[in-house]
């Protein structure tokens, strides 16, 4: 049996959500600047969630990032919502971040047709090589993107249509995106864990007490599908930013 190498995660704890965002955003900006100094374009994969808001705000305000050289992608999207529904992740990113960084090229996921066709079409738009930077969070059940437990760490596909579990759907209600769990779509398209982690750098922003158990599992549980966040320990360059509420006691 092949042994998967593991790596230490660089963990930092900050007093507030805003301080977390400033630190994570500064690191993300530095990675993009350094990438663009060496290459004509940079690729960044974005998560769309309230947990990312402070980091994205700091990144948008960071000086000297040539956004005209950045290709941005997003890691998941609901199936069954109207194209411009405010809960859509592409819409959230455009409203909360992308309008603040003019010049960026945003590759938005289409989810208006057959889910399998849409998933394959988005996979074809992803860069051939690794992402230069992935900005992500972790769900209350440990999910990465919408790869709920039990998650595939060896998924052969870059994207796929998935049925969301009840914990993920309830999280969307608790975060204020939907009135009830019955309003939350049951299906989504997600970028898979192997494709997310085919990246040079991963910056994870995880604030809030509701994420504390998921953070603890990510750092200490056996690496495997029951705790998707543990996949981060198989990547050589992950920076995990916590606030006082999300940091395990």
**Is 21 part of any domain?**
no
Runs of H (alpha helix) within the chain: 17-38, 53-61, 89-96, 115-125, 166-174, 193-196, 212-220
List pLDDT tens digits, range 19-30: 999 999 999 999
65 in any annotated domain = yes
SS3 call for 237: coil
CA distances from 52 to 57, 107, 204 (A): 9, 19, 9
Residue 99: inside a domain: yes
CATH number of the domain that residue 160 is part of? 3.40.50.1360
Q: What are the pLDDT digits (tens) for 63-105?
A: 999 999 999 999 999 999 987 899 999 999 999 999 999 999 9
- The reported pTM is 0.96
- Note whether residue 48 is domain-resident: yes
Task: Pick the more confident residue, 249 or 41.
Answer: 41
- The answer to whether 206 touches 244, Cβ cutoff 8 Å, is no
The residue range of the domain holding 197 is 33-243
User: How many domains are there within the chain?
Assistant: 1
pLDDT tens, residue by residue, 134-183: 999 999 999 999 999 999 999 999 999 999 999 999 999 999 999 999 99
**Looking at the domain assignment, is residue 28 inside a domain?**
no
Residue 20 lies in a domain: no
């Amino acid at each position: 049996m092949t042994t998967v190498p593991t790596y230490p995660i660089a963990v930092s704890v900050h007093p507030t959500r805003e301080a977390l965002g400033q630190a994570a955003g500064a690191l993300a900006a530095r990675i993009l600047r350094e990438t663009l100094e060496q290459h004509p374009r940079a690729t960044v994969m974005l998560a769309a969630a309230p947990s990312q808001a402070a980091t994205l705000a700091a990144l948008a305000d960071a000086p000297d990032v040539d956004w005209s050289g950045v290709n941005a992608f997003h890691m998941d999207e609901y199936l069954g919502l109207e194209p411009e529904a405010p809960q859509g992740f592409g819409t959230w990113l455009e409203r909360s971040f992308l309008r603040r960084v003019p010049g960026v090229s945003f590759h938005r996921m289409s989810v208006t047709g057959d889910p399998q066709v849409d998933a394959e079409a988005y996979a074809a738009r992803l860069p051939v090589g690794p992402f230069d930077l992935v900005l992500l969070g972790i769900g209350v059940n440990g999910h990465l993107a919408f790869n709920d437990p039990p998650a595939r760490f060896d998924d052969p596909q870059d994207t796929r249509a998935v049925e969301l579990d009840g914990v993920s759907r309830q999280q969307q209600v608790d975060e204020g995106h939907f009135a009830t769990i019955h309003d939350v779509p049951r299906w989504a398209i997600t970028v898979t864990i192997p494709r997310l982690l085919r990246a040079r750098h991963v910056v994870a922003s995880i604030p809030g007490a509701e994420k504390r158990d998921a953070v603890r599992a990510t750092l200490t549980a056996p690496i495997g599908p029951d705790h998707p966040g543990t996949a981060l320990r198989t990547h050589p360059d992950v920076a995990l930013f916590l606030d006082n509420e999300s940091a395990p006691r």
